[in-house]
Amino acid sequence: MEMPIPTLVTFAAYLVAMLALGYAAYKMTSNLSDYVLGGRSLGPGVAALSAGASDMSGWLLLGLPGAIYVAGLSELWIGVGLVVGAFLNWVFVAKPLRRATAMAKDSLTIPDFLENRFGDGTHVLRIISATVILIFFTLYISAGLVGGGLLFQSTFGMDYTTALIVGAVVIVSYTFLGGFLAVSWTDFVQGILMFLTLLIVPMFVVVLVGGWGSAQAQISAVDPSHTAVLAGMSFLGMISLLAWGLGYFGQPHILARFMAMRSENDVPRATLIGMTWMILALIGAVATGYLGIAYFADAPVAESETILIELIRALFNPWVAGVLMAAILAAIMSTIDSQLLVSASALTNDFYKGMLRPEASDQELVWVGRAAVVVVSVVALFLALNPEAGVLDLVAYAWGGFGAAFGPLIILSLYWSRMTRNGALAGMVVGAVTVIVWNQLSGGLFDVYEILPGFIFAWIAIVVVSLMSNEPSSEISEQFAATRR
């Protein structure tokens, strides 16, 4: 299928706009703090929408509407879990993490913060946590590139390799140039675009199918169970979907937005903006999939995850469709760029500066960071060149793995003075291993999403090992007490 010229023009204009934002951020980037954390200058609006956009990814525009289209309203429970998890993350983690990372020697990354928080002179915490981030995010980035390449291959008739390379070049270019500010500003724009698309499309559909009552009747005629929020839902199934919310506490690219805010006093406003965006966007995504059942009742869509794409094609002229289609690319780009920068930050700040050249100048570190962006991108692109590669299977590990490995670790490091370095190491390892092992098992309790046991076991490991270790030094205790004032 050839892409209509108007759609191509609007789509290209969007890509050019993202590159322009990257260049503007480049002019404002002079040191490693600017490149890795935007100089801690994010306002509440940019921080909130950037966190939301980098979190939701293509899942919000493709995965969730597709799941609702296939199974009906019973799939919305994952959205409920995510809303609760995101809200608790903003309330209990955002402000103390912003304060603690600034006071812990101005920590720029999560590994940086963990080393400074526990006074780890051995660098073991930094090395292990940075390695976990680097490995999982490289695979996660590759999976995102595969998804984007396949999406535009099927949607616009583009050659897979061409689509993959074009998308990668744009994302790498603005991330390379502007670092964290470029990623955050583009995520802000992408978040708005995703939000508007998820509100506009279902509004048009509900009018065209004759109103909400008519839509309900048509959906019931297709399958009455689609209208029930508990249809086919077991207790363990619901717990598994709700447990997705636990992942928020350990996602490095989301935590980076908290660390980058200009002031902890901006957190309440950012929370309001971020949660409003998230709730309305999730409602729009659910409504898109649900109303799609009614709209395509007589001619079902073959690929459920393309339900939003098919609705855009059917409802809008090519010019408008180009803008709305760009929202799908925005969803993919907004997550890949954030993960790319976190991975590059791990290479630059936690390995190069932290281990190899502590005396490196700011200018040197910025260019090492840019080189790291290219290195990670090339590795991820190489893995993604084969659309049949198994990297997509690892995405399920990433959310649960990060949530279990870092979630309890971050929460307890902010709230429990008795926590030790050995406890932190134990929790990180136990959480990650539990997720991997649990995923290989099945039947009974093993059918629960692996993040839940991983989170629980990691929490227990931190507490038990910390209590078995020597108490933190007076210097560490005083530093912790200062962050709690």
In Å, how far are 110, 178, 187 from 34, measured between CA atoms? 16, 9, 17
The two three-digit tokens of residue 440, written as one number? 């290989």
Using CA atoms, how far apart are residues 76 and 78, in angstroms rounded to an integer? 5
Contact 413, 117 (CB under 8 A): yes
Using CA atoms, how far apart are residues 431 and 453, in angstroms rounded to an integer? 8
Phi, psi of 157, rounded to the nearest 5 degrees: 70, 20
Is 0.95 surpassed by the pTM of this model?
no
Specify the DSSP class assigned to residue 485: -
The two three-digit tokens of residue 101, written as one number? 């990372």
Using CA atoms, how far apart are residues 455 and 249, in angstroms rounded to an integer? 10
Looking at residue 463, what is its pLDDT?
A: 97
Looking at residue 456, what is its pLDDT?
A: 96
Contact 119, 476 (CB under 8 A): yes
Specify the DSSP class assigned to residue 28: T
**Which residues, in sequence order, are bridge partners of residue 42?**
261
Using CA atoms, how far apart are residues 442 and 424, in angstroms rounded to an integer? 29
In Å, how far are 47, 126, 132, 257, 288 from 262, measured between CA atoms? 9, 25, 28, 10, 36
Phi, psi of 261, rounded to the nearest 5 degrees: -65, 145
Q: Exposed, middle or buried, 5 (CB in 10 Å: 0-12/13-18/19+)?
A: exposed
Using CA atoms, how far apart are residues 113 and 90, in angstroms rounded to an integer? 18
Contact 57, 212 (CB under 8 A): no
Tens of pLDDT along the chain (485 residues)? 455 677 678 777 877 887 788 788 778 877 777 888 888 888 999 999 988 888 877 778 888 888 899 888 988 888 899 999 999 999 999 999 999 999 988 898 899 999 999 999 888 999 999 888 888 787 778 877 776 776 666 666 777 788 778 777 877 787 777 787 888 888 888 888 888 999 999 999 999 988 999 999 999 998 898 888 887 778 888 888 888 899 999 999 899 999 999 999 999 999 999 999 999 999 999 999 999 999 998 888 887 878 888 898 888 888 888 888 777 777 777 778 788 888 888 888 888 887 778 888 878 888 888 888 888 888 888 877 766 554 445 666 778 889 999 999 999 999 999 999 999 999 999 998 998 898 888 776 778 889 999 999 999 999 999 999 999 999 999 999 998 87
Cα 347 to chain centroid, rounded? 20
Nearest alpha carbon to residue 385 among 150, 172, 176, 151:
150
The two three-digit tokens of residue 415, written as one number? 């709230």
Residues 6+ apart with CB under 8 A from 217: none
The two three-digit tokens of residue 213, written as one number? 């009552």
Q: CA Rg, the chain, in Å?
A: 22
**Which residues, in sequence order, are bridge partners of residue 261?**
42
Using CA atoms, how far apart are residues 44 and 99, in angstroms rounded to an integer? 15
Q: Cβ–Cβ contacts within 10 Å for residue 417, how many?
A: 13
- Across the chain, how many H-helices and E-strands are there? 20, 0
Q: Tell me which H or E stretch contains 207.
A: helix 160-208
Between the two ends of the chain, the Cα-to-Cα distance in Å is 61
Using CA atoms, how far apart are residues 205 and 187, in angstroms rounded to an integer? 27
Nearest alpha carbon to residue 161 among 325, 4, 387:
387
Looking at residue 392, what is its pLDDT?
A: 46
User: Is 109 strand, coil or helix?
Assistant: coil
Using CA atoms, how far apart are residues 71 and 172, in angstroms rounded to an integer? 37
Contact 120, 413 (CB under 8 A): no
Domains of the chain (ranges; CATH) run 5-393 (1.20.1730.10)
Looking at residue 182, what is its pLDDT?
A: 80
Using CA atoms, how far apart are residues 260 and 186, in angstroms rounded to an integer? 15
